A and B are shown apart, each in its own frame.
Chain A
Amino acid sequence: MTLLPTAAQTVGPYLAIGLPWEDGPYAVEAGAAGSVRISGRLLDRDGEAVPDGMVETWQADPPAGAGFRGFARCPTDADGRWHVVTLPPGPVPGPGGAPQAPHLAVSVFARGLLHRLVTRLYFADHEEANAADPVLAAVPPARRDTLLAVPDGGGYRFDIRLQGPGETVFFDA
């Protein structure tokens, strides 16, 4: 038996009533050894902040350990800012067994998005691994840098542009 999947609908402007969790941005406890803060802005076509969105991340455990939550969610604030605190992900195999570069799976929700957007976050300072990553290899070279979080003040910065110049690469997942 194959059932028709339920259709997606937009989160609308009021997701803050139902979705934020107090510990949402923390894939790992605050202050945990080795944790990194990843922050950025969610921007529309005109570079305006998207203040009614939400970003979620999911990732592999770090190489040295297992059992951390691995999942974070953060609503955007009035300036479109979001952040998550997590541990650097370990490498996982990709299609054909080739290793993938460390990455986070990212979901983006907002008023005006009828379905979630899926993107990936890679780390700009893992140049060698990124160059060999099979998913990045399928992205037009000129757009690959939209998927790179850049080192910034001890953490990383990752802006997401929904449309227009520098539009983030989104995936059909």
Chain B
Amino acid sequence: MTGEVAGFRRDDRDVHPPLDFPGYKATRSRSPREPLVHLPHTITEVTGPQLGRDRVGALDHDLTRAHAGEPLGERITVSGRLLDGDGRPMRGALVEIWQANAAGRYRHHTDNWPAPLDPNFSGGGRCLTDDDGRYEFVTIKPGAYPWPNHHNAWRPAHIHFSLLGEAFAQRLVTQMYFPGDPLFGQDPIFNSVRDPRARERLIARFSLDRTQPNWALAYEWDIVLRGRDETPMEDAL
């Protein structure tokens, strides 16, 4: 075995946010000041944990059924496909989400803004992608909420997503937004993504086709993790 392995394509600089972004104040004391050191993709980086079925319960994808009663709010489904950068579906992959309730309050001891907690909503969910790379969650639409970043700062409604990918090099944590949100313009986290196409891809689309009559509005959102480089040596792994 040699060290020559197929790495993953390096992302364009403007796809991901810069670590130091003055508009988002918390980056000031937490983002590194020294330059990042180039890391070659070795076996460590092109492999990753194979986690899945034993981590996901039958109802973990349905955030509206975690308690005895139903949560307040607008019931929605959020679904889409997890693809790699070459358009290949990523199967059996763990998708983890967390979000605020319909009033914009997180069930967390440090979230103290005066909006009500919902006894029927915890806000965490997980599922596995199917053979087509598809995931689906049932939840309620999260509310917007204020935060102390700048005067009159409000986060647009969003759902946090975490993807392990198939390799350490593909690990991604991101946020999904809802179409037409009037708060996009003033949100430094959304706008930290400088490539406008990449920013637009963080916004789900409303789908009347997937909307279920008399039950739930549907949003669709595809997630793309970077693809592999051309294989330098087929037998390297």
Contacts of A3 in B (CB 8 A): 83-87, 224, 227
Determine the chain B residues whose CB is within 8 A of the CB of A95 once the complex forms: 3-4, 40, 42
Whether A5 lies near B224 (C-beta < 8 A) is: yes
Chain A CB count within 10 A is highest, among B16, B84, B190, for B16
Mark each residue of chain B from 111 to 132: 1 if its CB lies under 8 Å from any CB of chain A, else 0.
1000000000011111000000
A9 and B171 contact, CB distance less than 8 A: no
For the complex, give the distance between the alpha carbons of A46 and B30 in Å.
9
B15 near A7: Cβ-Cβ < 8 Å: yes
Contact with B along A68-91 (1 / 0, CB 8 A): 011100000000000000000000
Contact of B162 with A18 in the complex, beta carbons under 8 Å: yes
Residue of A with least CB distance to B33: A163
Question: For chain A, what secondary structure do more than half of its interface residues adopt (helix, strand, loop), or is it mixed?
Answer: loop
Cα–Cα, bound, A100→B1 (Å): 13
Q: How far in angstroms is the closest Cβ of chain B from A121?
A: 11
The contact of B227 among A2, A13, A109, A138, by CB within 8 Å, is A2
B48 interface contact, C-beta 8 A: yes
Which residues on B sit within 8 Å (CB–CB) of A59? 44
Chain B residues touching A, range: 35 or more
The stretch from B69-77, B178-186, B191-199, B205-213 touching chain A is B191-199
* A30 located at the interface, meaning its Cβ lies under 8 Å from any Cβ of chain B in the complex: no
Please encode chain B, from 29 to 71, with 1 for each CB lying within 8 Å of some chain A CB and 0 for all others: 1111110111111111101110100010000000000000000
What are 23 A-B interface contacts by the 8 Å CB criterion? A2-B85, A3-B86, A4-B224, A5-B85, A9-B173, A9-B174, A9-B175, A11-B173, A17-B123, A58-B48, A96-B3, A100-B44, A112-B29, A112-B30, A114-B189, A117-B19, A117-B32, A134-B40, A135-B39, A138-B38, A163-B32, A169-B34, A171-B36
A residues bordering B, Cβ < 8 Å? Answer: 1-19, 21, 44-46, 48, 50, 52, 56, 58-60, 69-71, 92-98, 100, 103, 105, 107, 109-118, 120, 134-135, 138-139, 143, 162-164, 167-173
CB-based closest 10 A-B pairs: A18-B98, A112-B26, A71-B49, A93-B3, A112-B30, A171-B39, A114-B17, A172-B36, A9-B175, A17-B98
